[in-house]
Amino acid sequence: MCQISASILSANFAYLAGDVQAMLSAGVDTIHFDVMDFHYVPNLSMGPMVCQSLRDAGITAPIDVHLMVENPEKYIEPFAKAGASIVTFHPETTGNVFELLQKIQQMGMQAGLVFNPDQSVLIDAAWSDYIDIVLLMSVYPGFGGQSFIPDVLDKIRSTRDFLDQNSSRARLAVDGGVKVDNAAG
């Protein structure tokens, strides 16, 4: 089943709730938050207060939080309290991937791992039951508006094969530069 998750990076923050509602009315399934800390990536973006503001404005759709931050463990509880549904993080940003996956799920959210275009998808067998989503970056994280990197298509196929061969329940997602003309890729 294909789902669309739209990033709010392109939204007009003065009218964020309205823009999000328009996205949902147009058929978007999930709202995607790109959380950047100016350390892991050279940009700064939103935090849990924005998530809470959308929930307070009546947005009930799933909110998918992509942590492009150092020390992602610091963000789990605040985003859980703010109403996040899914939290994904880059494995290299934490000292204990397994504990962080468990913590996310213990806080009532789905958990996932994110892999950059130049990284191999390495998933420890012990993590399998704790991964709800594998997010493949099709741009380098840190800035919106980048073009899709076509070489990622092979990685998408091989990751899908890997998940299927290992009977993984994890969903496969792609983030960055996805548009109408390349989504079917």
Active site residues: 34, 175
Containing 137, the helix (H) or strand (E) segment is strand 133-137
Q: Residue 175 is which amino acid?
A: D
List all residues 6 or more positions away from 41 whose beta carbon is below 8 Å from its beta carbon: 68, 141, 142, 143
* CB distance 160 to 60 below 8 Å: no
Torsion 70-177-61-114 (CA) sign: negative
Q: Which CA distances in Å does 113 have to 6, 14, 26, 50, 128?
A: 18, 31, 28, 22, 11
